Structures are given as structure tokens and as C-alpha cells.
């Protein structure tokens, strides 16, 4: 593992020899969005070279911890604030107030200015629309446990994904509110495990399997599903009727960043009106800003805000207790659901 990390860092940081200042960005936002922002930012700031590494939110946290004594990244871009809060506990971020800070919040803003939200990312129930008619698709979380979806559910590996940890957190916090402990939630997740045909290592594999009907239903985030629709993949989605996790998707300046000044310029750009309008139009990111003029807001954003129900979430509790919940699930629930059907 250490050899792989060292190799990837070498690839990222090897000088181009063109005199530009590099800004190294760790992000879970995927190639489509990262390439889009890289090209537009470099057009506006030709003296800065954006170099990004795409990986899951938990993987970013683990990597930043590994590199803490010798930071390689300049910007941590993307992931739930609960993951960022865990990074703060390890002193992985340094304060920076971007010039758009007054246009977001109060949800998702760190009081010490260690991160700010750029987007809101809702979770959805998605399905292969060629195989599943819209009126037959699950309409709420509990519907995914119906017998007709047995061995037809695909799940992105929750241990590496901030989105999946948020969904797991929603289920666990629902259990805590209704019963006072996590037992009902772990039983629910064990029943979901019994429905699951595969845990995929990354979103690309999830897309491939869902498109090939190796599974018909998944739980994932709205932007990725809409991007896949735009590429012609047969994906539909529903917002869970009882409410969904809406993630405040944050950005922060890495403590000890080698190129901090240029990193601040990048952070200012990512949350600017022009950049959030661009990502809303091209890669379906829901802006966290409240001040976009109507002509900059795509129609799909208005429709999402009209139809989406946000579930109550205690993100602070998820930051404090989420790792223990996920470890218990990984050790005691994953791959045990088949016993329930025997």
C-alpha cells in the first residue's frame, strides 16, 4: 500500500517543466467534473497547473492521515462534512475563508473556517430503467427490502464511500430516534445485505454492473446518476418518500499545503457563481450558494428542490460515531444476510 501511495504521489507531483505552479487536489468528484473544472480554471489562471487524484471520501481521509507529516495535497475537494470533521480531529486542515463564504450556510460551514460547503448532494434510489418500469421502482428505503429485489441490489462499498456512509448513517439515526439503539438499524442493513448481489469497489464498476443488469437497483448519489443518464445509460431514480440524506459537500485547504496561495485561488474559483453554475449545468451538482440569479439556475435544480424531501441528520453524531458504526457493520453485518434467507 505504501509503495502504491508513493508511486501515485510521484506521478502527481513530478514537475511539468513549464513554469506553472501546481495545485494538487484530492477529490471524490470523478473525472467528468474534475476535468471540467481543471480546464476552465487553467483557462482563467494559466500560471497554475491543477493536478487531481480521484478516490473515495474515506480513501482521501486515510491518505491525508498517512501523509500528514509530509503533505502532498493542497486542496481537499468533496465529501460529507462528517468526513471533514474527522480530518479536523487529526489536524489535516488549515483555516481559509473563501470570498464566497457569505453566500453559503449556515448548514455545512465549519465555525473555525476549516471547510465550507460547495454543493448539496442528495442520495437517491436508482434503477435500470430498461428493466424496471418507473411505477415498479422502489419509492422508499424499506421498499428495497421487498422480496422481488432479492439478489438484485448493487451497493458501492460503504467503507470507502462518504455517500454510502451517509446513507448508513441515515438508517442508523432513524433507528436511534425510534428505538433508542442501533439494533433495528443493523437488522435492516443485514436484510439489505441479503438483497445485495455485489459490493462494488468504485462508481465506475457500479455503473457498468447496473447497465448490464447484473443488479437492477442501487443506492447512490443524484449527480452521478444524472451524469450517467447524460451518457445514455438506462438509469432512473426516485427520491425516498420518507426523506433522504442531503450531504453538505465541502472543500478545505490542507494543513501544510506546499502551494497554499494557488490553492486558495482554486478554492475561490470552485465556489464562485460561474463555477457552481457551470457544474450545475454540465455535471449536475446542486449548488450550496443561495444567491444565484434565476438565469444561472438550470431547470433540473428547481425540480429537485421542489420534489426532494431532506431527512433529519445529525452530522456531528455521524462524525463522532460513524466510524464505530461502520466498523461494526463491516465485521458483523456484511455478508451475513444470506443466513436470513436460508
- Give Cα 85 distance to the centre of its chain: 15
How does pLDDT run across 35-73, given as a tens digit for each residue? Answer: 999 999 999 999 999 999 999 999 999 999 999 999 999
- Grid-cell match 450550496, residue found: 288
Question: Binning pLDDT at 50, 70 and 90, where does residue 1 land?
Answer: very low
- Cis preceding linkage at 106, omega within 30: yes
Number of Cβ within a 10 Å radius of residue 42: 15
Q: Say how far apart CA 29 and CA 127 lie, in whole Å.
A: 21
pLDDT tens profile 138-152 = 999 999 999 999 999
Query: With 60 as the cut, is the pLDDT of residue 265 above it?
Result: yes
- Which structural domains are found in the chain, ordered by start? 2-120+247-298 (3.40.190.10), 121-245+310-341 (3.40.190.10)
Cα torsion through 6, 58, 71, 253, rounded to 10:
150
Q: How do residues 307-342 score in pLDDT, each as one tens digit?
A: 999 999 999 999 999 999 999 999 999 999 976 654
The pLDDT value given to residue 135: 97
Which residues fall within 8 angstroms of residue 18, CB to CB, at 6 or more apart?
49
Q: Which whole number is the average pLDDT over 191-206?
A: 97
Amino acid at each position: 500500500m505504501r509503495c502504491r501511495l508513493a508511486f501515485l504521489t510521484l506521478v502527481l507531483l513530478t514537475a511539468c517543466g513549464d513554469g506553472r505552479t501546481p495545485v494538487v487536489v484530492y477529490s471524490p468528484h470523478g473525472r467528468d467534473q474534475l476535468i471540467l473544472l481543471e480546464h476552465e480554471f487553467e483557462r482563467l489562471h494559466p500560471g497554475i497547473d491543477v493536478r487531481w487524484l480521484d478516490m473515495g471520501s474515506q480513501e482521501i481521509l486515510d491518505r491525508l492521515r498517512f501523509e500528514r507529516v509530509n503533505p502532498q495535497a493542497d486542496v481537499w475537494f468533496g465529501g460529507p462534512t462528517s468526513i471533514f470533521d474527522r480530518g479536523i480531529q487529526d489536524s489535516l486542515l488549515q483555516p481559509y475563508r473563501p470570498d464566497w463564504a457569505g453566500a453559503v450556510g449556515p448548514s455545512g460551514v465549519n465555525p473555525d473556517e476549516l471547510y465550507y460547503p460547495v454543493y448539496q448532494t442528495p442520495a437517491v434510489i436508482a434503477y435500470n430503467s430498461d428493466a424496471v418500469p418507473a411505477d415498479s421502482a422502489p419509492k422508499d428505503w424499506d421498499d428495497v427490502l421487498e422480496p422481488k429485489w432479492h439478489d438484485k441490489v448493487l451497493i458501492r462499498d460503504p467503507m470507502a464511500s462518504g455517500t454510502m456512509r451517509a446513507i448508513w448513517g441515515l438508517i442508523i439515526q432513524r433507528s436511534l430516534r425510534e428505538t433508542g439503539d442501533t439494533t433495528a438499524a443493523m437488522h435492516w442493513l443485514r436484510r439489505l445485505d441479503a438483497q445485495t448481489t455485489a459490493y462494488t469497489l468504485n462508481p465506475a464498476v457500479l455503473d457498468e454492473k447496473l447497465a448490464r443488469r447484473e443488479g437492477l437497483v442501487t443506492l447512490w448519489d443524484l449527480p452521478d446518476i444524472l451524469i450517467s443518464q447524460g451518457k445514455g445509460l438506462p438509469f432512473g431514480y426516485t427520491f425516498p418518500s420518507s426523506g433522504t440524506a442531503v450531504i453538505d459537500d465541502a472543500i478545505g485547504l490542507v494543513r501544510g499545503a506546499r502551494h497554499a496561495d494557488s490553492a486558495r485561488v482554486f478554492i475561490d474559483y470552485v465556489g464562485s457563481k460561474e463555477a457552481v453554475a457551470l457544474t450545475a449545468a454540465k455535471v449536475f451538482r446542486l449548488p450550496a450558494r443561495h444567491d444565484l440569479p434565476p438565469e444561472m439556475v438550470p431547470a433540473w435544480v428547481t425540480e429537485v428542490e421542489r420534489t426532494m424531501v431532506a431527512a433529519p441528520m445529525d452530522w456531528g453524531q455521524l462524525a463522532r460515531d460513524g466510524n464505530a458504526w461502520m466498523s461494526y457493520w463491516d465485521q458483523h453485518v456484511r455478508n451475513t444476510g444470506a443466513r436470513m434467507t436460508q
